[in-house]
Amino acid sequence: MPYNTDAIVHEKQVVINDTTAAGSTSGSLVVAGGLSTKDTYVTGHVAVNNVKITPNLNDIVHEQQAVLLPDRGTFTDITDFYFLNSAANSFRAQINVTVSAGISKYALHEIHGIYKNSGWMITSSFTGDLTGVTFDIKDTTDATGNNIGQLQYKNSNIGGTTTTIRYRATTTAPPGSSPTGSTGIINNTSGPFVANALIYANTVNTLASTDIIYNADVFTIAGTSRLLGQNANEFTSFSNGGAITSMGDISAAKKVIVGQKIGIATTAPGYELDVRGDIHFSGDLYQNGSLFSAGGGGSSVWNTVGTTGNIYYTKGNVGIGNTSPTVALDVTGSIKASSSISAGSANITNFTSTSITSGSAKVTDIVSSNITAATLIATTGLTTGTARITDIVNTNITTGTARATDIISTNLTSGSAKFTDIVSSNITAATLIATTGLTTGTARITDIVNTNITTGTARATDIISTNLTSGSAKVTDIVSSNITAATLIATTGLTTGTARITDIVNTNIT
């Protein structure tokens, strides 16, 4: 018979518990075509062409065989050859006897038995050889306590011979009883029926509390029933293996609970969810109950901007190298940037660099204990609101305006220093050297100590200098309590509107 791809194939057993009366077009199982089976057990009625051929419960329709022991002088039971008192009132048995020896013997015995108030009795006749085998019946009980008529034998054949019997029997049932001893449905677990083999039978007459239906190509488990696959085989491929294999799509209306790992496009998942390929979802992604990535309208801590590829963080601070960040970006360790770093405000305890180059550096407030640089270049100027610097060492500083409350330096050396306006309460320097001169519009200085000062107007409380030399020194007003100079030389003259000098000590005044 060719294999039908639309057929339902069951490994073990199908049990139908419907009690619809059997007919030519009705019953629990109706087959329009032929029916092919191997061993078939029927505990109800069987009809062929509307002729019932159902055997009685105690009939022996299928021929049985037994080998008799030799040299048996007392009656011995023939196993499985008996009749239940409750199911059989009489019987007719045919027994074929074969004795295999030097000269074989054959006989056919016919035994009639009847059950009377006094018990079972039989009459026996045979056709054939005298085989040395005789039969009898005795009243007894089986292992479960049922009253039975047990067939027995004697065998006078000695050792070296083999005595084999083959037998059948038909019975009549006691008056008023059902010949089959049943109600016409499967009501026991005898024969090939195996409890729990395919569908669990929770009583002798039912299989489950609700229906299990196959109709219109749909297998339905109704109500509270469950489908339990206890096959423990490991998954082997996409087409075979495991307890349940589906060759098509699977749809679940509610939850799917998986006890171990889920593999998608992989037969050996290494994680709770192992996907070989891309993942796409339209909802949100949560981590430990917190929204991690938003895609379904939620508010995520990580977000992207359109198709630009930019990503931004919306909650708290980001810590790198530490678990308790105190600012927006808190880094424990070094930072390396191949390009520029931009900041609105920079508070740095110690800044050490070989070279800092900037087209324009505009800083509102610089507070630093130490800035050391081999080269500090500001191409368009260095402008500060407040500059508090302990030590500046540089070759050239050029600025439009420098306003400082206090500049204290051991040595300020400059190739060229040009200031439009200097306003300071105190400038103290061991050496102030200007190779091309120091030129200012207005200089208001409390204390000037220098080798050479050239100025248009100088108003000073105290000028102390070892040597004041000038090609031309023109001062509108000099007010000083003390001018002390080893040499005061004015090559073209010293001209003042008013000169109030308490003490002039000089070697030569010209």
Q: CA dist 433 to 145, 174, 286, 396, Å?
A: 135, 145, 69, 12
pLDDT at 392: 47
pLDDT at 11: 55
The terminus-to-terminus CA distance of the chain in angstroms comes to 143
CA–CA gap between residue 359 and residue 381 (Å, rounded): 9
Q: Are 351 and 367 in contact (CB under 8 A)?
A: no
What residue type is 116 in one-letter code?
K
CA–CA gap between residue 93 and residue 75 (Å, rounded): 18
Asked if the 60-172 domain carries CATH number 2.60.40, the reply is yes
What residue type is 133 in one-letter code?
V
Report DSSP state, residue 235. B
* Residue that the structure tokens 């290494």 belong to: 270
What residue type is 28 in one-letter code?
S
pLDDT at 310: 80
By C-alpha distance, which of 55, 58, 155 is closest to 101? 155
* Residue that the structure tokens 């029997």 belong to: 169
Torsion angle, alpha carbons of 207, 208, 209, 215, to 10: -100
pLDDT at 33: 78
Report DSSP state, residue 241. B
Beta bridge mates, 65? 166
Residue 187 contacts by C-beta under 8 Å, 6 or more apart in sequence?
Answer: 43, 204, 205
Mean pLDDT by 10 residues, the chain (510 residues): 50 70 77 78 75 85 94 95 93 96 94 94 96 96 90 94 95 82 42 43 44 65 66 63 69 84 88 91 79 63 71 82 90 86 68 54 47 46 44 44 43 44 47 46 49 49 48 43 47 47 47
* Residue that the structure tokens 């609101």 belong to: 385
pLDDT at 97: 96
